[in-house]
Amino acid sequence: MNRRRFLGIAAAATGLSLLPARLRAEGVPIRTWRGVALGADACLQFAHPDPAEADRLIGICLEEVARLERVFSLYRPDSALSRLNRESALDAPPADLVRLLAEAVGIGRRTDGAFDPTVQPLWQLYAGHFGRSGADPDGPPAVAVRGALGLVDYRSLRVEPGRVAFARRGMAATLNGIAQGYVTDRVAERLKAEGMGDVLVDMGEIRALGHHPAGRPWTVGLKDHTDEGRTVETLEVADRAVATSGGYGTLFDPAGRFTHLFDPASGGCAWEWLAVTVTAPDATTADALSTALSVVPEDRARTILNRFPGVAARFTRRDGSVIALRA
């Protein structure tokens, strides 16, 4: 899946010109790595005086990403998540799978089911429907949607240290609404453990440790979903995470009526908001909440946000107007 990015790093690019005079004089550049992680554009940025050590740190991060992809990827048949979905149960699961599934179930509970990691049967239904030639542009038949919806229920996912399992055959999980944030957090933790205090990590979602080496907060631009060359707002972040969800990221049909954001209550595709951006203390929470808040109306969004201290959200309506809510 290609994820069109709504978030962009607006002012943290490579180059000595961004460094304060002292660091420029000492020849300390900002190191930047760019690539792909879990199907999303990825980036690391930090200042370091030793190129070899900077390369070692980047290597550690890439090893961590590769390790976690072997756990969470839906596109690798050998991943732990793929095996769980095939077999409906997994004994001795990787600790990261247990940790993230438990977190996903917990956020499902705190959002009254607006976030549900078991919506994968809906994805399979819609992708299969629109992948066929001559597909009905009005979407899958209602009876098929009801059948898939009967397999969606985070409460039927059993998560224990030694075993994870679905209560019913045919259930399946996706962590696409939370895994990028989790990977971002794990990479940030690895760099912090190596003594790095000022880092920008973007592994599909953004986590800022400390400040930009120039002494200011890291700067994150929110890009116009219709024109990625235009920034609609700039956020300054330090020791915070930012994540955005929007149905524009993956469209099933040319008209854009059906997207990858599913309402776990109805089985339909969410149309409440054009985009939702969340800032939170960690990227895992920001990622999951941006997904959950995308499928609920404003009154429910307020109720959910009040359960997450330190979290703020920016909602873009379909007419382009914006509202901001804070816990």
* DSSP-assigned letter for residue 81: H
Q: Give me the half-sphere count of Cα atoms (radius 13 Å) on the Cβ side of residue 78.
A: 3
pLDDT of residue 113: 97
Helix, coil or strand: residue 223: strand
pLDDT of residue 24: 41
Whether 312 contacts 279, CB under 8 Å? yes
Q: Has residue 287 got a pLDDT over 60?
A: yes
Show the tokens assigned to 160: 């224990």
Helix, coil or strand: residue 307: coil
Q: How confident is the model at residue 110 (pLDDT cuts 50, 70, 90)?
A: very high
pLDDT digits (tens, 9 = 90+) for 152-202: 999 999 999 999 999 999 999 999 999 999 999 999 999 999 999 999 999
pLDDT of residue 259: 87
- d(C-alpha 97, C-alpha 273), whole Å: 30
Show the tokens assigned to 237: 């972040």
What are the sequence ranges of the domains in the chain? 7-73+180-214+221-233
Between 213 and 61, residue with greater pLDDT? 61
Between 275 and 22, residue with greater pLDDT? 275
Q: Has residue 283 got a pLDDT over 60?
A: yes
pLDDT of residue 249: 65
Q: Which of 107-111, 181-185, 223-227, 304-308 has the lowest mean pLDDT?
A: 223-227
Most confident of 20-24, 182-186, 202-206, 270-274: 182-186
- State the chain's mean pLDDT as an integer: 88
Positive or negative: CA dihedral 14, 16, 17, 23: positive
pLDDT of residue 9: 35
Q: How confident is the model at residue 228 (pLDDT cuts 50, 70, 90)?
A: low
Q: What's the pTM value of the predicted model, to 2 decimals?
A: 0.89
Among all chains, which residue has been given the structure tokens 């990625």? 228
pLDDT of residue 146: 97
**Mean pLDDT value of segment 81-102:** 98
